Amino acid sequence: MESSVKRLVRPNILSLQPYTCARNEYSGEARAWLDANENSMIDGLNRYPDPLQVEVKKRLAALRGVGVGNIFLGVGSDECIDIVYRTFCRPGIDNVVAIDPTYGMYSVCAAINDVEYRPVRLRPDFSIDEEALFAAMDENTKVLWICSPNNPTGNAFPVEQLRRIASRFSGITVIDEAYVDFSPLGSMVPEIPALPRLIVMQTFSKAWAAAAMRLGIAYAHPCIIGIFNNVKYPYNINILTQREAIRVLDSADDVLRVADCLVGERERLARSLRALPVVNKVYPSDANFLLVATTDADGLYAYLRDKGVIVRNRTHVTLCAGCLRITVGTPEENTILLDALASFHGE
């Protein structure tokens, strides 16, 4: 195993004897499957699914230009986030560093796993203060979380900067690219061969329009993927999800075209929002949502909710005072939102 990764893995995980099943040892068409105590009498969902989801991974590998051995699939990115903690962070000893503000699950998973979470403020323009990031680290900092494009600020960070940070950090750098298909700045996946401690996460929940399927992806060096495969539940991705993922991936061209359309709709929505008296600022976005600074976030949030328009109130989040986070919807939904905002007159 890559030595710079091995020294970061928790000792109990490194010495783990993983669960094995016969399906891991045999691939191909057997004459009789009598190994897993399934009910052979009734067809349908009676068989366990492929524990390593090879057919899904083959398609993803071709789409993203990586090997099947560079891919881990989880029940949403949320499982991928959790497995990073369970693999690398010793409870009560290790810590992680993350940009602030960012996606909430990195800190929730840290708390669940009893790992100290160290948020480092972005600059007021939402750029990364690299020196502050490294100043927050010590010898027990195992993981650095960077979300790009970032939630809730919407901006992506330049690939050159992310590459520089990941090369300098001796722990695991995770780049969460949940919104990458909306961004012009590109993906960090091609950097993986040169950066063995880099993990890039993506998800089917955003551009791929399949949040209900619960499928998240972690791309990394095969030695990290191998450890994740030992730590995960044996059959974490069910067969319905695997089948649907294959169907969705076979229509990748259509999906990516719709993502481009959505970016056009985002810009229309941003222009219309900027014209409203309740809007102070619409931040530039590389994602499928807009962070909008308003004159009265709490009042607007409640007013919209009472009209059946649900947005995210981010006013209590670092650097986001007065802000609502608004997902770009269908043109009809966006018009409903704009009409509702135009009719708000405050207290």
What is the binding site for ligand PMP (CB under 6 A)? 76-78, 103, 147, 151, 176, 178, 203, 205, 211, 216
The least CB distance from residue 269 to ligand PMP, in Å, is 19
What is the C-alpha to C-alpha distance for residues 131 and 149, in angstroms, rounded to an integer? 20
CA 322 to chain centroid: 26
Question: Which residue lies nearer to ligand PMP by CB, 14 or 105?
Answer: 105
Shortest CB 185 distance to ligand PMP, Å: 15
Q: Which is nearer to ligand PMP, 104 or 346 (CB)?
A: 104
Question: Is the Cβ of residue 55 or residue 78 nearer to ligand PMP in the bound state?
Answer: 78
Q: Is the Cβ of residue 307 or residue 312 nearer to ligand PMP in the bound state?
A: 312
Report, in Å, the least distance between residue 265 CB and ligand PMP.
Answer: 19
DSSP 282: E
Q: Among residues 203 and 241, whose Cβ is nearest to ligand PMP? A: 203
Q: Shortest approach of ligand PMP to residue 230 CB, angstroms?
A: 22
Cis bond leading into 234, ω under 30°? no
Enter the tokens of residue 24: 């891991």
- Could you tell me the smallest distance in angstroms from the CB atom of residue 210 to ligand PMP? 9
Side chain identity at 325, as an amino acid letter? R
DSSP string, 61-113: HHHHT--GGGEEEESHHHHHHHHHHHHH--TTT-EEEEEES--THHHHHHHHT
Q: Which is nearer to ligand PMP, 156 or 300 (CB)?
A: 156
Cα dihedral value 15, 16, 22, 27, nearest 10: -60
Q: Which residue is nearest to ligand PMP (CB)?
A: 76
Residues recorded for the chain: 347
Burial of 265 (0-12, 13-18, 19+ CB in 10 A): middle
321 Rama sector, left if φ>0, alpha if ψ -120 to 50, beta otherwise: beta
Least distance (Å) from ligand PMP to the CB of residue 161?
18
